[in-house]
Amino acid sequence: MPAPADSSKTRYKHSTHHEWQFRPTAFVWVNARPVAPNLMTIATQLRAWLLRQSNTLPLWPNDSASATPPCITNPYAASSCTLAIIYADIVQSAHTFGHAPHAIDAITAEIRRIRTHSEQLLYNARLCESLIKQLLYCTAIPEKDYKSSALGGLLEDDCTACRRANRPLHSSSYLGCLAHRYRLCHEIDHCLHQHILETNTRRNREAAHANIASFSPSSIAATLALHNASCKTTAETLIHMLQHISHIECAMIAELRCAIIDPSREWWKGEGLSDYPSRT
């Protein structure tokens, strides 16, 4: 097992960051040669759309009529594209409800406010989970370790490999592992980690399981004001989280492209790619 990165100076000092390498699934392959990274800049594109810097949403290229080989095979890229498009539709519907004239009563307005609030919280968390897994799929970290993990487990989880080896107990962070390779630990541990943790907590408290935001019908004007303020806060939080995920996303794609261009680097053949400890 490799020595974990020193995380004693981070805010979450009990969560270690392990070294990792890419595996063959990091690439799209044609004729036994890697030709493209097997992931997409989904966080980058969605953030630009939310900031009105682009009119383009991340679309799954393999479903396009113009799609030609090579095709991306990363399953989390596909789900992330779908979640991004759904989230964009939620944002547009929320904007219409919050700014267009309505001939509805106060109770109906409150129902729509709570529904929109719940949808945004749910999809904020689902998007971050899927985007992180898209990146993890390209690494030698075993998929079975994180496939069924919810967002909280991607932030911090027990290292069962050390437990079974009778090593000192500690937790590790999948997100931190991704950031560590690109020297982004500080901004992840001290900023993104906290934002995602708060998003996950709010999702669990206000939009998941049996929990829901309180139902308090008021005047339509007051309901719409609360709705617009909630949408603004939730969207701004996601935009900030997408910025950090985008940093890892772009760094990973840039490294993979360099590996494809440089024929002297043959580690992509699949030999000795994994130095991450399996949890089983």
- Give the pLDDT confidence of 113-159 residue by residue, as tens digits: 889 988 998 898 899 999 999 999 999 988 998 898 887 778 776 66
Residue 259 has pLDDT above 50, yes or no: yes
What is residue 91's predicted lDDT score, i.e. its pLDDT?
Answer: 94
CA distances in angstroms from 123 to 54, 76, 205, 236, 279, listed in the order given: 21, 15, 14, 14, 28
Specify whether the CB–CB gap between 2 and 19 falls below 8 A. Answer: yes
Radius of gyration, CA atoms only, the chain:
21
Q: Is the pTM of this model over 0.85?
A: no
Q: For residue 34, give the DSSP letter.
A: E
Alpha-carbon torsion 190, 191, 196, 199, what sign? positive
Q: Which tokens hold the place of 77?
A: 């890229």
Alpha helices in 7-149 (DSSP H): 42-50, 75-99, 106-136, 143-146
The total of other beta-carbon atoms located within 10 Å of residue 218's CB is 14
Residue 255 has pLDDT above 80, yes or no: yes
For residue 168, cis peptide bond before it (omega within 30 degrees of 0): no
- Give the pLDDT confidence of 87-121 residue by residue, as tens digits: 999 999 999 999 876 788 889 999 998 899 889 98
Spatial separation of the C-alpha atoms in residues 259 and 140, rounded to whole Å: 16
Contacts of 63 (CB under 8 A, 6+ apart): none
- Percent of the chain past pLDDT 90, that is, above it, reads 33
Alpha-carbon torsion 138, 143, 147, 150, what sign? negative
